[in-house]
Amino acid sequence: MTSLVPGAYYFAKSDKLSAGETIIVQVSTVFGDDPAYWTMATVGSEQHHMIADLQILSRIEIPVEREFKQAAE
């Protein structure tokens, strides 16, 4: 995976971190905006992992939410 996107979600695997099970991670810039400082945050926890510790499988595309007008509009 050559082009990670800050804030994007990905399916990943790691024998070291998740016993080979697929997990969902998010590219985190909490340690800096430069890609050298990016980590992968495990969804549902506050754990951050080095990108090299994970096998990135694919990006998760989040559907764009529909905009609904409020009843008062």
Instruction: Please state the domain count of the chain.
Output: 1
What pLDDT is attached to residue 7?
A: 92
What pTM was computed for the model? 0.78
What DSSP element (H or E) covers 15?
Answer: helix 15-18
| 4 found inside a domain | no
What pLDDT score does 58 carry?
A: 95
Select from 46, 47, 60 the least CA-distant residue to 16: 47
Tell me the mean pLDDT per 10 residues along the chain, length 73.
85 86 93 93 90 93 66 55
For residue 2, the model assigns a pLDDT of 56
Domain extent at residue 17? 9-60
State the Cα–Cα distance between residues 32 and 13, nearest whole angstrom: 24
